[in-house]
A and B are shown apart, each in its own frame.
Chain A
């Protein structure tokens, strides 16, 4: 498939089940939704499966979740392929998502992309040869007020430019990431100092 990357068969595990701990989490999640609306839990469950499986969702997990929520597996596939946060093939341990939508772009996301590519030595959608990083382009991350932003794993780093992005990624490489949030001198999204 052109837009969707699915792991080849030899990487796909034969089966998938939630760990005991995740099974409890899954059941708690399902219980949040009204009777016969369990399908609404598909997104959190996919996320849970992705975390359990080292950052990607195998085919067996999709079938497993479809069974658990009693929905046709193609519906789970639709969800899993629609959102850019789900990966159906192994990616880097650290995933760098760069927002390139208009507000970030106006605020210099081209430089951020350039810095990522240079620092990591990979292009968009690619993974470094040691499997440490992968680079992804995403649509609006919803943090326009601190544009441009990147999301690294679960955290947002904001108010970036070329240099800051380079330093940010270098610190991740060194295993000493900074505190998430704006990498400028403002707190949160308070007005920028003139």
Chain B
């Protein structure tokens, strides 16, 4: 634990810390471009120069200098000021002064630091260099003349994303950052836009869209996967313009997946902005709320409760599920399900049986990992990066059961029979079951088998389920599941065919087999016109996740709140209010008039929904169903990372990614 002084202030830092970290520990800021906490140290921008005594009589790069006992560090001596000014002048030699037309303008590290260290005028009289722009795919736009060669992007794709495709070609003044004109085939590529300290790498979909000071910023939570990445939603007027990550060490660190970041342009397309009722000619016609709710109420009143079914989708907030559950249970409906993929997690399963017990960060403590039919890279990209981070530390093996895509770390193919052998000898083994494995017909047996493999002690619960649906854990916590006499999704679909079920209420459910729903009267409540609305007889327009205050529980069992960034379009309403209005028309009024009382009642029933931002451990017990597991290989629940929900399917940016990365024959043509 070296003790040193920074500008006369004594500070003690852990062994191995750098001078820069020691300076930060005293609360001072150090200007930097290349240094980043989560990347390896490059030491090539030289902006963090400080004066250190004892030592050579020249400034030292604090990011790469280990803190030593009795060092005296000066961060604002004349030598330091002079050195930093020199570095800034050097960086600006070849940097174009095109801030007025640069998308980074207003949130640019170089711009900010030039305010402190830049000279008033340039002394440079030679030619400035110009660099041709590079192609990096449909997400990242490049203006390479602005590049200052910090190599953050190179280190990020190499170290965090695990897709080493960016390199620094050439040398000296001719250095260029390049992917050799290939798109960056990573689920995390958008993060290099945030990492780039200048405007060299910017967001292509957000190109020339807005200035940072025009945007209203709302802290929220992502629902594109079950990680629950913490995000900031930037909006102007009624439009969500971009999504950026927020720091949460336990959940997403400071990364988000490309789907989280870029699928939001789907929020502007195919939106359900008015209630619709299918007319006699078979076409959906826009109508008023009163008319639509009356149609729904009449239908529900006319149908016996055992002939009504309710299915909740993958991005539904807990509040809406709670309201729907209370409403339909009051009507006596038992055919309720939130597992639209048919996941075999039975009612009554203890919480430990369906969450990632050790948390997303728990994998960093594991020394062996078994993935059963789970593809973290595509199902939960940010979690995939965390597994890679663990792998990079060494002494870590990952086994895979089933046919899942390539990961960003080496994996070993393991059969279910050999799984126990694979885990043997590990002190903290972790077993993760994917949503794809649990949605199989023998999912309950897979679950039981995985449970039997798991090591569970007082300190370590080496079992987890990696969900793909943002709403799933909350749905299971709320027990949004069939009642004792009720049917699950498969039963509901079969019931519709057999005639036992006549009316189906879809709460944002778009991933079921709509062919089987043909004979039912379908009511769809949701935000985006996808398969669900296409199959519906009545459409009730709801709000997307950026348009309502909602609670979500991520795959590790952490309740988090999303906040409204913009209002829903047109006549669309927040989902719980629609159910509340419907309950009134039905004559069985829900017992809450505002979100606060709804939440109070919901939390009273399910306390974990009130433990905001806390990962609540689940009870452990018996679950699954012992039985044979079929031979057919397990598959991931996510076949196409870029399109997994109505929003991402409506997104033009995601469509471009599919064209670029999912269809390899297109890859060469795309940028020809």
Residues of A near B132 (CB, < 8 A) are 1-2
- Knowing A2-B130, A2-B131, A2-B132, the reply to whether A75 touches B167 (Cβ < 8 A) is yes
Q: Is the pair A1, B169 in contact by a Cβ cutoff of 8 Å?
A: yes
* A128 at the binding interface (Cβ < 8 Å): no
- Write 14 A-B pairs (CB below 8 A) sorted by A numbering: A1-B132, A1-B178, A2-B130, A2-B131, A2-B174, A2-B176, A3-B171, A4-B176, A77-B169, A78-B168, A81-B169, A82-B170, A82-B171, A84-B171
List B166-187 residues whose CB lies under 8 Å from chain A.
166-171, 173-176, 178-180
Majority SS at the chain B contact face: loop
List B138-186 residues whose CB lies under 8 Å from chain A.
158, 164-171, 173-176, 178-180
- Knowing A74-B179, A77-B180, the reply to whether A3 touches B167 (Cβ < 8 A) is no
List A1-45 residues whose CB lies under 8 Å from chain B.
1-4
* A188 at the binding interface (Cβ < 8 Å): no
Residues of A near B179 (CB, < 8 A) are 74
Distance of A190 Cα from B173 Cα, bound (Å): 36
* A131 at the binding interface (Cβ < 8 Å): no
Q: Is the pair B164, A72 in contact by a Cβ cutoff of 8 Å?
A: yes
Residues of B near A4 (CB, < 8 A) are 169-170, 174, 176
Q: Is the pair B164, A75 in contact by a Cβ cutoff of 8 Å?
A: yes
Q: B213 to nearest A CB, angstroms?
A: 35
**In the complex, what residue of chain B is closest to A81 when comparing beta carbons?**
B169
Q: Given A2, A78, A83, A84, which contacts B167 in the complex, CB threshold below 8 Å?
A: A78
Looking at A74, A78, A81, A83, the one whose CB has the most chain B CB atoms below 10 A away is A74
Q: Which residues of A contact B (CB under 8 A)?
A: 1-4, 72, 74-75, 77-78, 81-84
Looking at B130, B167, B178, the one whose CB has the most chain A CB atoms below 10 A away is B167
Residues of B near A82 (CB, < 8 A) are 169-171
Distance of A78 Cα from B171 Cα, bound (Å): 9
Instruction: Add 6 more A-B contacts to A3-B174, A81-B171 (CB < 8 A).
Output: A1-B132, A1-B178, A74-B165, A74-B166, A77-B180, A78-B168
Residues of A near B164 (CB, < 8 A) are 72, 74-75
Q: Is the pair A81, B170 in contact by a Cβ cutoff of 8 Å?
A: yes
**Shortest Cβ-Cβ A-B pairs, 3 listed:** A3-B174, A72-B164, A74-B167
**In the complex, what residue of chain B is closest to A1 when comparing beta carbons?**
B176
Distance of A102 Cα from B158 Cα, bound (Å): 37
Q: Is the pair B130, A77 in contact by a Cβ cutoff of 8 Å?
A: no
Q: Is the pair B180, A74 in contact by a Cβ cutoff of 8 Å?
A: yes
Residues of A near B131 (CB, < 8 A) are 2
**In the complex, what residue of chain A is closest to B175 when comparing beta carbons?**
A3
Q: A74 to nearest B CB, angstroms?
A: 4
Q: A157 to nearest B CB, angstroms?
A: 25
List B113-153 residues whose CB lies under 8 Å from chain A.
129-132
Q: Is the pair B169, A78 in contact by a Cβ cutoff of 8 Å?
A: yes
Q: B186 to nearest A CB, angstroms?
A: 13
Residues of A near B168 (CB, < 8 A) are 78
**In the complex, what residue of chain B is closest to A74 when comparing beta carbons?**
B167
Residues of B near A78 (CB, < 8 A) are 167-169
Q: B160 to nearest A CB, angstroms?
A: 15
Distance of A137 Cα from B132 Cα, bound (Å): 23
Residues of A near B173 (CB, < 8 A) are 3
Q: B43 to nearest A CB, angstroms?
A: 17
Distance of A78 Cα from B179 Cα, bound (Å): 11
**In the complex, what residue of chain A is closest to B174 when comparing beta carbons?**
A3
**In the complex, what residue of chain B is closest to A82 when comparing beta carbons?**
B171
Residues of B near A72 (CB, < 8 A) are 158, 164-165
Q: B650 to nearest A CB, angstroms?
A: 34
**In the complex, what residue of chain A is closest to B131 when comparing beta carbons?**
A2
**In the complex, what residue of chain A is closest to B169 when comparing beta carbons?**
A81
Distance of A124 Cα from B129 Cα, bound (Å): 19
Residues of B near A75 (CB, < 8 A) are 164, 167
Q: B594 to nearest A CB, angstroms?
A: 56
Q: A82 to nearest B CB, angstroms?
A: 5
**In the complex, what residue of chain B is closest to A84 when comparing beta carbons?**
B171
Residues of A near B171 (CB, < 8 A) are 3, 81-84
Q: A59 to nearest B CB, angstroms?
A: 9
Distance of A72 Cα from B408 Cα, bound (Å): 13
Residues of A near B175 (CB, < 8 A) are 3
- Knowing A1-B132, A2-B131, A2-B132, the reply to whether A77 touches B167 (Cβ < 8 A) is yes
